[in-house]
Amino acid sequence: MFEQLGLIGCGLMGGSFALALKRAGLVRRVVGYSKSPLTLARARALGVIDVEAPSALLAVSGADLVLVAVPVAACADTFKAIRHLLAPQALLLDVGSTKADVVAAARQHLGAHLPQFVPAHPIAGKESAGIEHADAELYRGCQVILTPLPETDPEQTVRAQRLWGALGAQVRQMEPQAHDAAYAAVSHLPHLLAFAALNALLAQPKGPQWLGLAGPGFRDFSRIAASDPTIWGDILLANRTEVLAQLQHFRDALAALEGAMQQRDTAALQALIGHASRGRSQHAQQWPAGGQGGAGAAANAHAAPAATAPALGGASNPAGTPEPRLCLE
């Protein structure tokens, strides 16, 4: 049980964390700060926070738990702003999608408070961001990756593990660099590709008309393209080196497919598609049911059927199956 959560950033991620803590009876009072006065007032009106703080520093004052839930590029300034009133035993968390840059900012700005910081990346989100979509159940069934440092107080890491676990998350630990390499591959590059696919369509005279013809396959494929430009510009730049390295791997794989098409090599093309299809199906089975796979993953076990089946090879959830709780990125 925490006495007071200091919440810096009152958006979907921070607001959902506050609501989840309250629902779990794990916090007595939430003091919030947002750089947008309108957002702050809304957070108060919605009962996500109990007290509006006029600054990040004052939101932290008296808190035994602090969550920094701002775009990753804003973490450095936030750490700088709060360090003077951060209580020595308070647990400090973030929710950033990149970890090496946030860790570097923490090392630079937190000083003696560094051992209190347990960096965290919840693999959660919603298409509908903003405080009005905050959801006490957002983190249930999601993975949360903790990337504690050598300097991190092991007791704080244990507290962070228990806390995220109490909100229903599956907690894992990784090195910050290993985290960034993995998420460049399974999150950041896919976002970049989806942005490019949308822009390629929009750049063509008939693109908007074609978009009206799109089916659910495209809807699912392009969903991440609707992400927030500020947050995702930050992420792609913060993890630039890893994302560009992944882009090169992607280009190689694409060139192999294109080569088979250029040469009209049916067998080679089918082999390349088969490799992707089997890989997707096999790995989808291992995704946890809550949020990260669920109906989709289960259905996937049956994908890539016998060649006699004339299905068009689409992809979505089975009819009538409710989408698992979304917690995605």
Q: Considering only residues 172-201, where is the footprint of its own copies by CB under 8 A?
A: 172, 181-183, 185-187, 189-201
Judged by CB under 8 A, which stretch of 50-58, 83-91, 159-167, 261-269 contacts its own copies?
Answer: 261-269
Q: Up-side HSE of residue 258: CA atoms within 13 Å toward CB? A: 6
Q: Reduce the DSSP state of residue 210 to 3 states and report it.
A: helix
Binding of its own copies by 77 (CB under 8 A):
no
Binding of its own copies by 70 (CB under 8 A):
yes
CA distance 273 to 276: 5
Could you write out the DSSP letters of every residue in 82-96?
HGGG--TT-EEEE--
CA distance 317 to 329: 18
Judged by CB under 8 A, which stretch of 106-114, 147-155, 156-164, 222-230 contacts its own copies?
Answer: 222-230
Of the residues 45, 215, 259, 289, which one makes contact with its own copies according to CB under 8 A? 215
Q: How far is the CB of 53 from its own copies (least distance, A)?
A: 15
Binding of its own copies by 23 (CB under 8 A):
no
The type of residue at 228 is: D
Of the residues 47, 54, 207, 259, which one makes contact with its own copies according to CB under 8 A? 207
Binding of its own copies by 309 (CB under 8 A):
yes
Binding of its own copies by 169 (CB under 8 A):
no
Q: How far is CA 293 from CA 128, 190, 316, in A?
A: 19, 17, 11
Q: Tell me the number of residues near its own copies by CB under 8 A.
A: 157
Tell me how crowded residue 231 is: count the other CB atoms within 10 A of its CB.
20
Q: How far is the CB of 153 from its own copies (least distance, A)?
A: 25
Query: Mask of contacts with its own copies, 30-69, x by CB under 8 A?
Result: ----xxx--x-----------------------------x
Q: How far is the CB of 234 from its own copies (least distance, A)?
A: 8
Pairing of strands 27-33, 51-52: parallel
Contacts (Cβ under 8 Å, ≥6 apart) of 314: 215, 216, 217
Tell me how crowded residue 285 is: count the other CB atoms within 10 A of its CB.
12
Judged by CB under 8 A, which stretch of 44-52, 55-63, 150-158, 212-220 contacts its own copies?
Answer: 212-220
Binding of its own copies by 242 (CB under 8 A):
no
Q: Which among 149, 122, 173, 151 is positioned nearest to 291, based on CA atoms?
A: 122
